[in-house]
Structure 1
Amino acid sequence: MKTLIYSLAAAAALFASSAHAQDLQPLDRIAAVVDEDVILASELERAVANIRGQYATRQDQLPPQEILERQVLERLITMRLQTANAQRTGVRVSDQEVDQAIAAIAQQNNFTMDQLRQQLAGDGMSFDDFRASLREELMIQRMRQRFAQTRISVSDAEVDAALSAEATGAQYRLAHILVALPEGATPEQIQTGQQKVDGIKSLLDRNEMEFSAAAVRYSDSPNALEGGDLGWRRADEIPAAFATAVTSLQPGQTIGPIRGPSGFQILQLVDRREAAQSADAGSVTEYQARHILIRSEPGNDAAAKGRADSLRARLVGGADFAEVARESSEDNATKANGGDLGWFTQDEFGPDFGGQVAAIGDGDISEPFRTQAGWHIVQRQATRQAAGNDNNRRAQAREAIGQRKLEDEWDRYVRELRGEAYVSVRVGPNRDPEIGSGG
């Protein structure tokens, strides 16, 4: 669960592309020119359709069609820029590596290769497009790894501070709305951005729109379509401009707008929790639990959630958890053992999963919750204090800090790529006026 290649499949389904001009169908229009490459209108339409499929039961949360198209097109543009840069810097993914990734995706979804092809065809994607998109995802992932190795460093002092905060501090789940400003923004651009963010803040203050819906509709952040969710963070992981104010907020409250390097931001405290307390400085809390996983793909998320809700109702009604897991769980690694996960620390399977386990009591069954793998139901069985391995704790803290730094630095790097690239949008109200909507 720590590294889920399934997420590659989801991204490939969202950003499926035919990156080569020779694959162009005669009547297909060009949605955007990106340096020496193009994004086709059919690619944009397919990506937008996939997003709408994910929001099938929440269509009212999506922005108007033209705004959704702009958001999705911007994602496609940044994806294309990252892929091109990976190729320029010598990043390569072999056919064998792509084959292995596809085989793993098929296995995780309990598909034969023929069934996988049929599923893709049903989703309107050719196998060649899926393969090409997956190669691009693997290339970008590899480039990120190289980026981390050469540009990200974590000091011992940062690890010490993180371990101290972990033992005594609270954690905060945050979401944000970004109104982006370009590098070297003109006074007119700054004024326009200020007016936009003030308008968004006014909507929130008057309770005319939920924060997540406003993020989907108005935010310029790459995570806009996820409601601006930033996940769980300790106080020392929150930007200094927000940190002091966040600690005094109640869940649901917001701060901002505040001007930052990327533009104007509004931040919401979604929830807070106290860090797991150890019995002493040399011990760590471990949990014993079992789970049921219902995998989710773009287009069937609502169905997967419905199935998870139905299974939880059976469990609450008295059904044996292990039997239901053996019958229905889609985690092949644990279903034969009734979903048993053994003993683990809170962060071992990721912060979202660990946070759900820590939030319930021994014997309790969680509500269904979402991770990259799909929808989970967890039953916590027991808790214990175990002797902590200081080296392991430090290694985990160092990795977590490095990942946070990588996210920030990579976002900045991608913005630089975008700012330096030649991009001409040829669809929608923001298309290049010199080119128009022709292809």
Structure 2
Amino acid sequence: MKIKLSECLRPLVLGALFLGTAAHAAVKPLDKIVAIVDNDVIMQSQLDQRVHEVQQTIAKRGQGVPPTSVLDQQVLERLIVENLQLQLGERMGIRITDEELNDAVATIAQRNGMTIDQFRRALAHDGLSYEDAREQIRREMTISRVRQRRVAERIQVTDQEVQNFLKSDLGKMQMSEEFQLANILIPTPESANSEAIQNAYKQAVDVYNQLKKGADFGQMAIARSGSDTALEGGDMGWRKAAQLPPPFDSLLSKMPVGEITEPIRTPGGFIILKLNAKRGGQSVVVDEVHVRHILIKPSEIRTEAQTEALINKIHDRIEAGEDFATLAKTYSEDPGSALNGGDLNWVNPNSLVPEFRAAMSDTPQGVLSKPFKTQYGWHVLEVLGRRATDSTSQAREQQAMNALRNRKYDEELQSWLRQIRDEAYVEIKLPSANSDESASQAAQ
């Protein structure tokens, strides 16, 4: 199963998320090589361990577990692609430090409301060692960084693309709806002839007909899909319409929840989508505050005590009737606001440090705050106004930017994964896959 750190270790499925933990385990007696991958190998013990864990994951979801022969080929292909990325990471000099790994483990434990000791016990309960779990997290972090360097850094989205997207019919629809999807992909080779395409289409129609007769979508995805999400039952999570290739964007908007699409040709093959849920967009309203302040900083010639004494004196002078703006221009050491009389204009409180935000929240409009300290120094502030601002436009621009990047990333990632797989030397020694692999090599 593919590990995604953003989703890992859900409270009830701890063991399901650390797949491939035997990747570097000692070779057992009678162990054998099931695949040669460039400069590395995949052992039978690795494959067996991963298949076992996938079976456990599927069983925990309450789904029927496919035969081992079906899982062997799906899991081995996943291991091959992972192995290629790890080898590439090694050549690129990517290293995950122990400190980074410790932080990642602590974050996973915290997200599940656990201490590290509780996390260890939860892993042991699911038959996983803490050391193997750490190693799997390190592997996933390495793969993530490889993809970041080789795929994400190539993706650029311009302001003009964002504006064009927002003005398009698809963009307008995408801003209002989001879909939770699962998929089954019957792949076609890049250079497939008409016979291969027709054969893939027949397979897709067969899958579609079985689904319409009541077959479980997740089980069919595990058994038949060539998608990267096959072992997760085809689960794609939530997707905006802009992330989907036409004509799925318009089809899904009209489809009732629970329905599936007919097979549709895409560059990668024939795909069937299931709509599990929908949700719509909402207006984004942000509370803003118009505030001005005076900042005094400690320095080599001004001690902390002297700084506090000076801000207190300035506070008293304002309270006695002196002009705030004049004193700000004279004393404030915030270069961004001093010349404007300390005026920060309208600001989103969430963009400010906690101490400033708290003082601003506690100070009524038109009232001078008491002196307070932040990481920048000592302040006094005055709230000049409060308002609720509709920031839907800015939020939609950011959503559009993210959607376009995600769409480009998904396309680029799948293309890149196919490229490194095609360019690699891979010799599969799994008996059940020998005939398929030989046919594939002969076709190439």
Q: Could you say which residue in structure 1 is the equivalent of 2:196?
A: 189
Q: Could you say which residue in structure 2 is the equivalent of 1:217?
A: 223
Conserved in 1, the CA contact under 8 Å of 2:151 and 2:416?
Answer: no
1:180 aligns with 2:180: no
Q: Could you say which residue in structure 2 is the equivalent of 1:81?
A: 84
Q: Could you say which residue in structure 1 is the equivalent of 2:178?
A: 171
Conserved in 2, the CA contact under 8 Å of 1:169 and 1:234?
Answer: no
Matched residue type, 2:21: A
Distance of 1:172 and 1:112 partners within structure 2: 35
Structure 2: gaps (5+ residues)? 288-348, 351-386, 439-444
The structural deviation recorded for 1:82 is 1.3
Conserved in 1, the CA contact under 8 Å of 2:243 and 2:406?
Answer: no
Q: Could you say which residue in structure 2 is the equivalent of 1:52?
A: 55
Distance of 1:162 and 1:14 partners within structure 2: 40
Q: Which moved more, 1:230-239 or 1:100-109?
A: 100-109
Q: Sequence identity, in percent? A: 36
- Counting only pairs closer than 5 Å after superposition, residues 256-267 of structure 1 correspond to structure 2 as 256-267=262-273
Conserved in 2, the CA contact under 8 Å of 1:98 and 1:131?
Answer: yes
Q: TM-score, normalised by structure 1?
A: 0.64
Distance 1:85 1:432, change over 3 A: farther
Distance of 2:209 and 2:28 partners within structure 1: 46
Q: Which moved more, 1:166-175 or 1:188-197?
A: 166-175
Distance 1:213 1:101, change over 3 A: same
Distance 1:210 1:129, change over 3 A: closer
Q: Could you say which residue in structure 1 is the equivalent of 2:413?
A: 410
The structural deviation recorded for 1:37 is 1.1
Distance 1:57 1:187, change over 3 A: same
The structural deviation recorded for 1:68 is 1.8
Q: Could you say which residue in structure 1 is the equivalent of 2:205?
A: 198
Q: Could you say which residue in structure 1 is the equivalent of 2:135?
A: 132
The structural deviation recorded for 1:123 is 4.0
The structural deviation recorded for 1:126 is 4.3
Q: Which moved more, 1:107-116 or 1:240-249?
A: 107-116
Conserved in 2, the CA contact under 8 Å of 1:198 and 1:257?
Answer: yes
Distance of 2:227 and 2:262 partners within structure 1: 16
The structural deviation recorded for 1:237 is 2.9
The structural deviation recorded for 1:393 is 5.1
Q: Could you say which residue in structure 2 is the equivalent of 1:102?
A: 105
1:18 aligns with 2:43: no
Distance of 1:118 and 1:50 partners within structure 2: 18
Conserved in 2, the CA contact under 8 Å of 1:15 and 1:133?
Answer: yes
Conserved in 2, the CA contact under 8 Å of 1:215 and 1:225?
Answer: yes
Structure 1: gaps (5+ residues)? 287-342, 345-383
Conserved in 1, the CA contact under 8 Å of 2:173 and 2:241?
Answer: no
Q: Could you say which residue in structure 2 is the equivalent of 1:275?
A: 281
Conserved in 2, the CA contact under 8 Å of 1:426 and 1:432?
Answer: no
Distance of 2:60 and 2:144 partners within structure 1: 31
The structural deviation recorded for 1:72 is 1.8
Higher RCO structure (Cα 8 Å, ≥6 apart): 1
Query: What SS does structure 2 have at the residue aligned with 1:412?
Result: helix
Alignment: residue pair count: 331
RMSD between aligned residues: 3.6
Q: TM-score, normalised by structure 2?
A: 0.64
Query: What SS does structure 2 have at the residue aligned with 1:401?
Result: helix
The structural deviation recorded for 1:269 is 2.9
Matched residue type, 1:419: D
- 1:46-105 per-residue CA deviation (whole Å, 9 max, x = no partner) reads 222222222335554332221122222222121111111222233222233223323444
Matched residue type, 1:265: I
Q: Could you say which residue in structure 2 is the equivalent of 1:236?
A: 242
The structural deviation recorded for 1:209 is 0.5
The structural deviation recorded for 1:404 is 3.3
Conserved in 1, the CA contact under 8 Å of 2:242 and 2:407?
Answer: no
Q: Which moved more, 1:189-198 or 1:258-267?
A: 189-198
